Structure 1
């Protein structure tokens, strides 16, 4: 399966329609993905990246329909993770001496994955590889999102091979894998979800790298990321979005995320939201029941929000397990430019709200109050207190 990016570059990747999990069932895509590999034909032929390891043999079989493997002069690996490099063992079995261009850190990670000492050629920022009328210019992009990542810029056609940066988990027919062939809003949401769940912890590095790329005054006509669509119509759009997202991004939104054992904490969430709306009727409020939602979607809503309320019942004198896991994700995502508070129901001990508050403070997140807790199924008086808590919270975050 292949399609033309232009007269010189051919997409020769794989579409994984049923790919649903990134790091487990609660960190998923549910929408499939693509593994983008690109074949450049100039005086020299270059393969940029491969595919996920289980698809390696199938990938090589289809690559042979495009080119005699012995005619591949160079391989470029932008990032050593096996969804980019997984096809290498099957390729290198047939062309074992072919040079592999990558960063020093990528050499280490590739050797760690595959335990092979292939013909690695180390590159660093500013190094160039002349392939005929064009040259490939390498730019290290450390921690976007691995230490071994790099961008590759191809002159003449002005194409940026951007590894995971600017990508999306997006499985559509190969003829539609361009930004002008898919719904713009859906593309935005899928690109945002990748940013939040992959790059948000490194936002200061993203911001610096975007500024660095812009300062080079590269004429970028096309962006080819390692997953999802190629940006050929408006590559500047996604560069601008990354600049925004990496700079303490928020919207006029409050996310209320909760789990519940018997419905009490869920009832509290509804009435806290009611109180917020009474004070700020224009505020976008997202109620997220953790039991029904994927963590990647919830973290995306939290990323967009100016404030977050976290609700948990008390279980075994502690935080409900699913909420405890979410707190770890919030910590790891380093979403510090937001305001937080906690709420929850309990039966006889009620430690969860205090423990959530303490955890948020330990992560150095801004906690605006000590939260609210109510016993059992909230009574009418408790509902009134929840509404008032929501009203107070709305005033505290402005």
Structure 2
């Protein structure tokens, strides 16, 4: 059975789904799987755009052989060298030894280091073109979205932007390949989780890439990324979302992330959430750092303006799972949030004060003074939490 999908008259989707891998980059949960998207152009010359993870080679090669039907594969276009898109290169060279590998100078440095491949290279530069016959491909270098060699390939005939990891996200393509065939709100959420966790550190470079495409004044009818659906109905939708996320624009709402050992810090989180609701905040997410992987918490934080972090004290410092979260937040320099802090301690402090120190790196405005309770919150602590909630609500509604 061949499950390739026609995108236009002579361009085909030859990607695969991965429902086996538990962690993307051995970090991020793939509860709903992920797709590795690859595309084959059949023209006077044939061209494959990106490959797939090595573990999925068999299915991938079956699709390519079926479509080529004995023809040679002339070009491999590499938009991104991360192994989930380049892992099949060594086997592809064995199957099609005459293939030309098309990429930029940095692409070839990575190929040499990853796969010991030294030849069959055809180097392109920013704005270079490659003629296949009816189709002409134009290349746009987009470094650090999210590796140094990343680029995009534009088919001038069918107005398709092969965008690499940009505009892609988690989630397998379960029958539906195109944006008009799937439940798009699900993919938007998984695309934002992908963006916020993996690409979010490079928002300035994303904006630079978007501006490059805008300045090039190209018509884009279809966006074909290396993960997630192919956008043929409404490619502007995903471009606008990327623009919004990379500008760190937020929505009205509050994420309360907490770490609690015996429920006392959790009680404070629940109390603040109720007070926020009484102040008119409708979008409130309470998330336990012990139960919820930080990728999902980061995803929600990226969406909402308000963040309230609560931690018990653990070994005179932060609860470890909370520390993982704030280390990531500080490292990735996320903008446009306001912060509240609360927590508990026993015989020594350290939880709340460590959150304050991390915020010196994050530089998020504090809406109210940190609230710290000894072992469990008392009436005076709850009064302070009232004021914290009111202050946060004012900021969200301002």
For the criterion TM > 0.5, the same-fold answer is yes
The superposition leaves residues 193-238 of structure 1 with CA deviations (integer Å, 9 ceiling, x where unpaired) of 2221222211122122212212222111111100111001111111
1:145-181 deviation per Cα after TM superposition (whole angstroms, max 9, x unaligned): 111100000111111100011112121334x110000
CA RMSD after TM alignment? 1.8
Q: Quick check: 1:69–1:94 contact (8 Å CA) kept in 2? A: no
Q: For residue 244 of structure 1, what is the aligned residue in structure 2?
A: 244
1:357 matches 2:356: yes
Q: Which residue is equivalent to 1:332?
A: 331
Partner of 1:285: 284
- Counterparts of 1:193-212 in structure 2 under 5 Å? 193-212=193-212
CA distance in 1, matches of 2:37, 2:272: 45
Do 2:312 and 2:344's aligned partners in 1 also have CA atoms closer than 8 Å? Answer: yes
Contact 1:271 1:390 in 2 (8 A): no
Q: What SS is found at the alignment partner of 1:162?
A: strand
Query: 1:283: how far off?
Result: 4.3
- 2:19 maps to 1:20: no
**SS of 1:366 mapped into structure 2:** coil
Quote how far apart the aligned CAs of 1:134 are: 1.4
1:7 aligns to 2:9 (yes or no): yes
The change in CA–CA distance for 1:370 and 1:354 in structure 2 (over 3 A counts) is farther
CA shift digits 1:85-112 (9 cap, x unpaired): 1111111112233110011111111211
Separation of aligned partners in 1, 2:152 and 2:395: 43
Gaps of at least 5 residues in structure 2 are: none
SS state at 1:345 partner: strand
Structure 1, unaligned stretches of length 5 or more? Answer: none
Q: Please give the alpha-carbon distance, in whole angstroms, between the structure 2 residues aligned to 1:393 and 1:63.
A: 55
Distance in 2, matches of 1:354 and 1:341, equals 13
- Please identify, of 290-299 and 190-199, the stretch whose mean Cα deviation from structure 2 is larger: 190-199
Runs of 4+ in 1 over 4 A off after TM superposition: none
Q: Distance in 2 between matches of 1:381 and 1:370?
A: 14
CA 1:122–1:364 in structure 2 vs 1: closer, same or farther (change >3 Å)?
Answer: farther
Q: Secondary structure at the match of 1:357?
A: helix
Q: What is the TM-score when the length of structure 2 is the normalising length?
A: 0.94
Asked if residue 180 in structure 1 is aligned to residue 180 in structure 2, the reply is yes
Q: Deviations over 1:245-280 (max 9, x none)?
A: 2223110011110111101111011112223333x3
Change in Cα spacing, 1:121 to 1:358, as seen in structure 2 (3 Å) is same
- Residues 22-171 of structure 1: pairs in structure 2 closer than 5 A: 22-24=24-26, 27-67=28-68, 71-171=72-172
* C-alpha distance in 2 between matches for 1:86 and 1:67: 21
Tell me if structure 2 keeps the 8 A contact 1:97–1:118: no
Question: Structure 1: how far apart are the matches of 2:130 and 2:157?
Answer: 13
Does the residue aligned with 2:343 lie in a helix, a strand or coil? strand
Q: Give 1:143 deviation, angstroms.
A: 0.6
Q: Secondary structure at the residue paired with 1:173? A: coil
Query: Is the 8 Å Cα contact of residues 158 and 222 (structure 1) preserved in structure 2?
Result: yes
